[in-house]
Amino acid sequence: MRFAPRALIGYSPGVHPLPIDDAIVAECRARAGRVADGVHQFIDEHTTVSIERTVLRAYGVDGADESGVPLVNRCVERIVAAKMIGRGAASLIAAQMLSGAKDPQEAAERIAFGSGDLPAITHSSAQLAAALAPFTKAAIVRIDEARRTREQSRARLGTGPTPWKYLIVATGNIYDDAEQARAAAQAGADIIAVIRSTAQSLIDYVPYGATTEGFGGTWATQENFKIVRAALDEEQEKLGRYLMQVNYSSGLCMPEIAYLGAVERLDMLLNDAMYGILFRDINPRRTLCDQYFSRRIIARAGIIINTGEDNYLTTADAVDSAHTVIASQFINEAFARMAGLPDQQMGLGHAFEIDKGIEDSFLMEMAQAQLVRQIFPKHPIKWMPSTKHKSGDIFWSHRVDGLFDLVGVATEQSIELLGMMTESIHTPLLQDRFVALKGADYVFNAARHFSEELLWNPQGRVVARAKQVLSEAHALLGDVEKEGMWSAIARGAFADVKRPELGGRGLAGVIEKSADYLNPILDALEETP
C-alpha cells in the first residue's frame, strides 16, 4: 500500500510575506542539502545496534528475560559478541529459520539463549531474504494498518484549528498520565505528550511493559504507548474531535521508539538530527545513522516529527544565536528529505526565548517566527514557550505566555506547546495547565485573523531583523559546508555546545556494514515513494 503526502496544515497564501530574498533562501536550502550529502555516505556504509534491534522488533521479536532485559537486546548482544553484526541481525534470523526455527521469535530465542558459537552463515543473501519475505511484508503492513486507522479516525472526527494546543503530562505513573491526558483534552488540548523519564535517552534499551515509577517523567515503552492511546481513543469519541499523542524518538534507542510509535499509532515524535548529540552527548556518528533509519519508519507511518532547535536558545543567547536555529532547521529538513519524509511531516522547532528585558524583544520574536513560518511554508512548525527568562512571579510569567500566544497566532504557527505560569517553580499542576489552555484560547480566538491584517514595514525593525538572521544563517551554512558536519559540531557551531565526532555515548554501537549486509526492512522502507 502506498500513501501520498497530504497537506495536513500549512501557511496561508493570503498572509503578507516579509520582503526577504528568496534566492538566499534557496541557496541556504542547497547548502544544507550538500551538508547532508556529505554525511550520507557514512550513514549508508554503517549500521548500529539500535537499528538492528529495531529490525528484530519489526519482525515481531518480543519479550524480555527473567531480569527484564529485552530479548532484542540479548539477541543483538550475542551477535555483536560473535563479530557477525556487520551481516545484519536479519541475516542471522534468516539463517536460523533456514535451519529449522519456525519464525523470527524462535530464531531470536535460539540466538539469545543458545550455547556455544553462533554457526557460520552458509546461505546466499537471496536465500536469506526469501526466508524473511513474508515477515518483511507483515512488518510493513503493521505500520501501514496503524497509519490507516489513525487517518480514518482523524478524517472522521476532525481536529481543532491551528495553532494546535500541545500539553505535556508526566507523573511517572502511566495510569495517572492517561487520566491527566484525558483532563487536558477535556480542557481543550489538541496534542498530549508524555515526557520521558529523566535520562531514558541515555540507556541503550527500551524497558518492557507498563511502568508506574519514573523521575521527571514516565518511561517510554510500547505498553505505555498503548495505554495512553487507548485513553485518548475513548476520550476523543466523547469530545468529537481527534486527539494527538506524542512521545520522544531520540537518544540511544531512536529507531526503536520510532517503530513502536509507528505501530501504536502515535501522531508525533520528537525526532531531531542533532538534539541527542548536543544536549545528551550521544555520539554524532551513532545519532546521524539512527536518525536516518528512524525517519524512514516515521515517513512510512505518516507521523509528524518535532525537531529540537528551540533547545539551542537555552544554552546560547537567543539574540546572537538566532541564525543557528534557522541553519539547523535547513539541515534537519535536508536529512529528513533524504529519509523520504515529506515537508508536511516536518515539525521544525523554534522558541520564544529572547530576554524579555531587551527593548523590542517582542518585535524580534515576531521577526523570527514569521521568518521560520515563511521559509518553511508546508511544514507543521512547532512553536515553543519561554523557559529560560522566567521567574517565580507567576503573574508576570502568565503575561509572557500571553505574548507568546499572540506571536503564535499572528504568524500562523502550527503546533504550540503552551507555556506554564509555574515554569520556573515546579512541575505544572493540572490547574496550571487549565490556566494555560484558557489563556491560549482567549488569544487565539481574539486574534484569529490577525495575520491577514499584518503589513511589514520594508524599512522597519522586524524586516531588518529577519534579513539579518537569514543572512547570518546563510553564512553559517556556507561555513558548515566547507568544513563538514562533523567538524562543525565539534567546534560548537550549534547551541555553543562542542561534541567531537569520536566522543560521546554509543560510539561502540556503530558498526561498518559488510559487503553482504542484509536489512530487508530498510530496503522495503526505501522503496516507499
The β-bridge partners of 245 are 192
> What's the CA gap between 251 and 285, in Å, rounded?
12
Which of 303, 323, 346 minimizes the C-alpha distance to 465?
323
- CB 417, CB 306: distance < 8 Å: no
> What's the CA gap between 96 and 127, in Å, rounded?
12
Residue 88 three-state SS:
coil
Instruction: Tell me which amino acid residue 512 is.
Output: E
Please say if 378 is a catalytic residue: no
Which of 410, 60, 50 minimizes the C-alpha distance to 257?
50
Residue 475 three-state SS:
helix
Q: How many CA atoms lie within 13 A of 184 on its CB side?
A: 33
> What's the CA gap between 253 and 206, in Å, rounded?
7
- CB 410, CB 362: distance < 8 Å: no
Helix (H) or strand (E) holding 149: helix 125-157
- CB 295, CB 339: distance < 8 Å: yes
Residue 516 neighbours by CB under 8 Å, 6+ apart: 87, 91, 125
Active-site residue (options: 190, 242, 272, 382): 382
Please say if 382 is a catalytic residue: yes
Which of 321, 472, 307 minimizes the C-alpha distance to 388?
321
> What's the CA gap between 218 and 328, in Å, rounded?
29
CA dihedral (510, 87, 525, 339) in degrees, to 10, reads: 30
Active-site residue (options: 177, 190, 272, 310): 310
Alpha helices, DSSP H, located in 158-269: 174-186, 222-239, 254-263
Active-site residue (options: 11, 205, 259, 275): 275
The β-bridge partners of 510 are 48
Which of 390, 373, 389 minimizes the C-alpha distance to 381?
373
> What's the CA gap between 144 and 528, in Å, rounded?
11
Residue 473 three-state SS:
helix
Residue whose C-alpha cell reads 505544572 in the numeric block = 428
Number of Cβ within a 10 Å radius of residue 113: 12
Residue whose C-alpha cell reads 511493559 in the numeric block = 209
- 510-512 vs 349-351, strand pairing mode: unpaired
Q: Which residues are catalytic?
A: 275, 310, 382
